[in-house]
Chains A and B, each alone.
Chain A
Amino acid sequence: MIIDRTHARWCYFVLIFTGLLALSYLIYVHTSMVPPTGGTILGLIYGILAFLIMAFVSLLGARKKVPAWRIGRATTWLKGHLWLSLLLIPLLLFHSGFKSGGPLTVVIWMIFAIVMASGLLGIILQQMLPRLMTEQVRMETIYDQIDHVLQQVRYETDIQITQLVGPLGVELIVPEGATAAKIKEGIPQPGSEQLKKFYLDRVRPSLDPAVPVDATFNSATKINTFFEEARLVLPPNFHATLDTLRDVMEECRQLERQKTLHHWLHGWLFCHVPLSVLLMVLTLIHIVTALWY
């Protein structure tokens, strides 16, 4: 989510609320000469508020499971998730009186720190990566379809080359859900063998969806250079084919790039979500333990 002017109200709210919390904390410290802890009324209020906020921010995941429910716009939920989570920092600090407490609370503090850090990382990534993906991956497709598209690209390229140079001598893998095309094998022309060898040895391995793109093809400049050099080696009648192969390779590179960026864009959630759940569980244990004893 891009942090823009639409977040201003949330930001002011958090700042003002933090100010009020700090004021109440300072007044308490000034009047009673000791900081509040979980056992004091004010400390307990801080704790209850923190728990309610934790419960609310945890519900974001549940809200996503019912996208059709009209229980507030998803964007409002996410803004609430981001900004109210920040309030947890002063609330928990004031609740604990700036002390780490026992082993359980130490663990809670550590997990809280990781969850907050991963969340902040998520915000930073979501600020940057969508724009980066838009700029760098002009041939973007739906993430789940990438492998299928790559299979399709390889199959179509195989057919195209077969039509030019005759049988490739490798198994042409028909993409899932597609039907095998009837291939009209071309009559080998001068230089066909050269093109075939070039395709099979240098290009085709990088078209395999299961294999990451070769370092030779990991930038548009490198791809251009590679195919410019190939033009010097292969006869002119195959130059148009080289242009096609260059475009194909560029598409594969972009889709690979999309995969990478997508993993970064969503990968942090694998840390953030489970630890948030764990944090919630530990917090509940903390509450029960605190109330019990």
Chain B
Amino acid sequence: MKLFAILPPLEAVAENKLEQGTPLSLEELLKISIFQGVPKPLLEKNLGAVVLRRFRKGEVICREGEQGSTAFYILTGTAQVMIKTPFAHLKTKSTSRWGHLFSKMTSLFVNKRDDPRAQDTIAYIPIDAPVDLSYQDPVATLKIGDLFGEMTCLSFYPRSATVVAGESCEMLEMLQNVLQICQRNPTFKKQLDDNYRERALVTHMKSVPLFKTVSDDYLKQLKAKVTLVSYEPGTVICSEGDTADALYLVRIGFVKVTKAFPGGEMVLSYLPRGSFFGEMGLLGYVQDERRRSLRVPVHIPAKLTLKDQTDPIDVTVADLSNHGALLKTDHPIATNQGLLQFTISIEGTITRVQVQIRRTMESEDSATTIGVEFENMNELQATQIRQIYQKSSTTGVRSASCTALDHVELVRVGFEEMRTMMKLFPSVQEQMKKAAENRESANRYLMSVPRDVPLDDFLDHGLIQAQNLLILDLSKCTRCDACTEACAATHDGVTRLVREGLRYDNYLVATSCRQCMDPLCMVGCPVGSIRRKDSLEIIIEDWCIGCGLCARNCPYGNINMHPFEALEEDHKNPGVMKPVVKKKATTCDLCTDLPEPSCVYACPHDAAHRVDPKSFFGFQGSTPEGVSVSNLETTK
């Protein structure tokens, strides 16, 4: 079906015309369902920011790793979305037949089938489209009504996948302002959500390791019960200490997970699409028996007419089971879903509360004051109350705060649904327990870092590490560069170490992965291939597309792009394969295949050490002069 009869047939259009796209008039735009309901003047102002693009079968619409700033909406036809970069991670391996004697290590590109790594459980690759790609066969089809490239458009992340026209197709290519207009349009939003719910939600849930064993039938039932929620950049999704009431799956964007830490805030992770959070709280890993808080969403009563979301509101919560004693609340926030959210601090046991809402600016007499009792509230709220009342409840509080880093869309699976699922599929609970235990042990590790450390220095310099640091004792180092030469000799001539970095007293923290407090390298990875293991070590997954964003984001230059040769179809000669140089991101691998890192082994002056930062900085902070490197734990 041709939407635009005024346009010439596709075959007659010159190539360059296709490249440029066709600007659309206001009337033409209004014919398209996604723009219906958008105010005309708003659309008129942004006419140049959306074009109609037409692609022939097999034509490349966008390529993985490329920079971009637009999103595509499919009007007619289909498109194939795929990752063309070979799946592999860089592995250095000693290939010597003489044991470790002549240990020149060879950089090998191996995939997880040949080299399974710990926690390699991800079967689906998240991309910037409403579908996930299977690790086994990373190709999927996009259909009419699908929107792809949202993250590139909104946050300027590199393209996550290559999209090729599956047949002759027409698409709208739009810039950020148009996409934002569309997202604010309830019709369009509903259409996207419905599409997603119908086509991708089950796959998405299947891609989450927690739900691996849940039957398709159950997931199909579940898809109607879950809530799709979106957050603008900087919005707090949940705060540390809040009552846990749901599990969240990241659908679009990045969620920053932080934890309060003595002297600062630690970024535990940036969760990309395909990740989940909230399992620890649901399982009650973090319980506070004496003092609990409950985040309460209350429908704003119709008679309390609010001008906008900033209208000042006052909320009073009385504990009816305790002679109307007032409970502490935080500042209420009106959401755009017509809800008022606030947190009640609860001590001991309560059975019945009453909520009064009024506008602050009005006098007591004229204020709209209504009473809401929890018993009369909807099921969701009642569930939350039950969670508090039931002593046997397993729910707890959030162990960390989660904030939307950019435009974030989440799938919210409520507590009741999770509880039912856990009953029906005990393996879900086991998986959740496992994930929660891993995260809990990582958190415990972090909290075990000595408190007397000058934490500001740690935070400022990004020197809090979970595993290892390469430090050079500058009072011994003769600057002979044997360490970097050894690193290069070990890794096919490409050094992963630069003898420059931050100084900490007489020590130089040389440039190699530091597993920072705030791992900026993870922000924006279009395919979520760089992530932090529970041990906090940075790992780059097989499906890295070599866009180099992580290398650019790393403030210490600790991520290198390692070139390798691959075969790719020649754009000029379809069907002909040609060798091309692709890249994969890599960090210092600590020469894990060898008994000791090469840099340390090759330092003739005993100046290079891999140290456990906990023990090193533990006393470095208080008595720097007394530190003897020979007493440090040199990790192997």
Residues of A within 8 A of B480 (CB): 266
Residues of B within 8 A of A75 (CB): 603-606
B601, A73: Cβ atoms closer than 8 Å: yes
Is B190 interfacial (CB-CB < 8 Å)? no
Determine the distance from Cα of A73 to Cα of B596 in the docked complex, in whole angstroms.
Answer: 10
A134, B479: Cβ atoms closer than 8 Å: no
Is A130 interfacial (CB-CB < 8 Å)? yes
A78, B630: Cβ atoms closer than 8 Å: no
A135 to chain B, nearest CB (A): 9
B393 to chain A, nearest CB (A): 57
Is A290 interfacial (CB-CB < 8 Å)? no
A1 to chain B, nearest CB (A): 5
Q: CB within 8 A of B476: which of A1, A73, A77? A: A1
**Per-position 1/0 for B471-485, Cβ under 8 A of A:** 000111111111001
Residues of B within 8 A of A71 (CB): 101-102
Q: Which residue of B lies closest to A2 (CB)?
A: B476
A78, B475: Cβ atoms closer than 8 Å: no
Is B500 interfacial (CB-CB < 8 Å)? yes
Is A9 interfacial (CB-CB < 8 Å)? no
Q: Which of B590-610 contact A (CB under 8 A)?
A: 594-596, 598, 601-607
> Given A134-B474, A265-B479, A68 and B503 touching (CB < 8 A)?
no
Binds B, one of A89-97, A136-144, A234-242: A136-144
A68, B474: Cβ atoms closer than 8 Å: no
A134, B475: Cβ atoms closer than 8 Å: yes
Residues of B within 8 A of A1 (CB): 476, 478, 604-606
A69, B103: Cβ atoms closer than 8 Å: yes
A5, B601: Cβ atoms closer than 8 Å: no
Grouping DSSP codes into helix (H, G, I), strand (E, B) and loop, the A interface class, with mixed when no group exceeds half, is: helix
Determine the distance from Cα of A287 to Cα of B608 in the docked complex, in whole angstroms.
Answer: 40
Q: Residue among B485, B489, B498, B602 with the most chain A CB within 10 A?
A: B602
A67, B475: Cβ atoms closer than 8 Å: no
Q: Which residue of A lies closest to B596 (CB)?
A: A73
A196 to chain B, nearest CB (A): 34
Is B352 interfacial (CB-CB < 8 Å)? no
A64, B475: Cβ atoms closer than 8 Å: no
A121 to chain B, nearest CB (A): 14
Determine the distance from Cα of A4 to Cα of B631 in the docked complex, in whole angstroms.
Answer: 13
Give the contact-size bracket for chain B. 35 or more
B489, A68: Cβ atoms closer than 8 Å: yes
Q: Which residue of B lies closest to A262 (CB)?
A: B479
A15 to chain B, nearest CB (A): 22
Q: Which residue of B lies closest to A7 (CB)?
A: B606
Is A70 interfacial (CB-CB < 8 Å)? yes
Determine the distance from Cα of A130 to Cα of B603 in the docked complex, in whole angstroms.
Answer: 15
B627 to chain A, nearest CB (A): 13
Residues of A within 8 A of B602 (CB): 67-68, 74
**Per-position 1/0 for A117-134, Cβ under 8 A of B:** 000000000100111011
Residues of A within 8 A of B604 (CB): 1, 64, 74-75, 77-78
Is A66 interfacial (CB-CB < 8 Å)? yes
Is B100 interfacial (CB-CB < 8 Å)? yes
B583 to chain A, nearest CB (A): 20
Q: Which residue of B lies closest to A69 (CB)?
A: B102
Is A32 interfacial (CB-CB < 8 Å)? no
Q: CB within 8 A of A265: which of B100, B478, B506, B603? A: B478
Is B486 interfacial (CB-CB < 8 Å)? yes
Residues of B within 8 A of A67 (CB): 482, 485-486, 489-490, 598, 601-602
Is B104 interfacial (CB-CB < 8 Å)? yes
Residues of B within 8 A of A129 (CB): 478
Give the contact-size bracket for chain A. 20 to 34
**Per-position 1/0 for B452-493, Cβ under 8 A of A:** 000000000000000000000011111111100110011000
B481 to chain A, nearest CB (A): 8
**Per-position 1/0 for B578-598, Cβ under 8 A of A:** 000000000000000011101
Determine the distance from Cα of A69 to Cα of B481 in the docked complex, in whole angstroms.
Answer: 16
Is A31 interfacial (CB-CB < 8 Å)? no
Residues of B within 8 A of A6 (CB): 606, 630
A143, B479: Cβ atoms closer than 8 Å: yes
A104 to chain B, nearest CB (A): 33
Q: Which of A40-70 contact B (CB under 8 A)?
A: 64, 66-70
Q: CB within 8 A of A66: which of B105, B477, B489, B606? A: B489
B478, A130: Cβ atoms closer than 8 Å: yes
Is B533 interfacial (CB-CB < 8 Å)? no
Q: CB within 8 A of B603: which of A68, A69, A74, A143? A: A74
Is B532 interfacial (CB-CB < 8 Å)? no
Determine the distance from Cα of A262 to Cα of B479 in the docked complex, in whole angstroms.
Answer: 8
Residues of B within 8 A of A73 (CB): 596, 601
Determine the distance from Cα of A130 to Cα of B103 in the docked complex, in whole angstroms.
Answer: 30
A282 to chain B, nearest CB (A): 26
Residues of B within 8 A of A142 (CB): 481, 498-500
A141, B475: Cβ atoms closer than 8 Å: no
B477, A130: Cβ atoms closer than 8 Å: yes
Q: Which of A5-29 contact B (CB under 8 A)?
A: 5-6
A267 to chain B, nearest CB (A): 12
**Per-position 1/0 for B430-444, Cβ under 8 A of A:** 000000000000000
A266 to chain B, nearest CB (A): 7
Residues of B within 8 A of A134 (CB): 474-475, 506
B630, A68: Cβ atoms closer than 8 Å: no
Determine the distance from Cα of A137 to Cα of B498 in the docked complex, in whole angstroms.
Answer: 18
A130, B499: Cβ atoms closer than 8 Å: no
B606, A68: Cβ atoms closer than 8 Å: no
A68, B104: Cβ atoms closer than 8 Å: yes
Residues of A within 8 A of B482 (CB): 64, 67, 74
Residues of A within 8 A of B489 (CB): 66-68
Determine the distance from Cα of A186 to Cα of B476 in the docked complex, in whole angstroms.
Answer: 47
B133 to chain A, nearest CB (A): 38
Determine the distance from Cα of A187 to Cα of B322 in the docked complex, in whole angstroms.
Answer: 74
Q: CB within 8 A of B503: which of A4, A66, A70, A138? A: A138
B266 to chain A, nearest CB (A): 29
Q: Residue among B101, B476, B498, B499 with the most chain A CB within 10 A?
A: B476
Determine the distance from Cα of A262 to Cα of B601 in the docked complex, in whole angstroms.
Answer: 23
Determine the distance from Cα of A134 to Cα of B473 in the docked complex, in whole angstroms.
Answer: 10
Q: Which residue of B lies closest to A122 (CB)?
A: B478
Determine the distance from Cα of A74 to Cα of B475 in the docked complex, in whole angstroms.
Answer: 18
Q: Residue among A66, A70, A265 with the most chain B CB within 10 A?
A: A70
Query: Closest 8 CB pairs between A and B?
Result: A67-B486, A67-B602, A74-B604, A78-B604, A134-B474, A68-B489, A70-B100, A131-B475
Starting from the known contacts A69-B103, A130-B475, A143-B479, 7 additional A-B residue pairs (CB-CB under 8 Å) come to A1-B478, A1-B606, A5-B630, A6-B630, A78-B605, A130-B478, A265-B478
What are 28 residue pairs bridging A and B, where the CB atoms are less than 8 Å apart in the complex? A1-B478, A1-B604, A1-B606, A66-B489, A67-B482, A68-B102, A68-B103, A68-B105, A68-B486, A69-B103, A70-B99, A70-B595, A71-B101, A71-B102, A74-B602, A75-B604, A75-B606, A77-B604, A129-B478, A130-B474, A131-B474, A133-B474, A134-B475, A134-B506, A142-B499, A142-B500, A143-B479, A265-B479
Q: Which residues of B contact A (CB under 8 A)?
A: 99-105, 474-482, 485-486, 489-490, 498-500, 503, 506, 594-596, 598, 601-607, 630
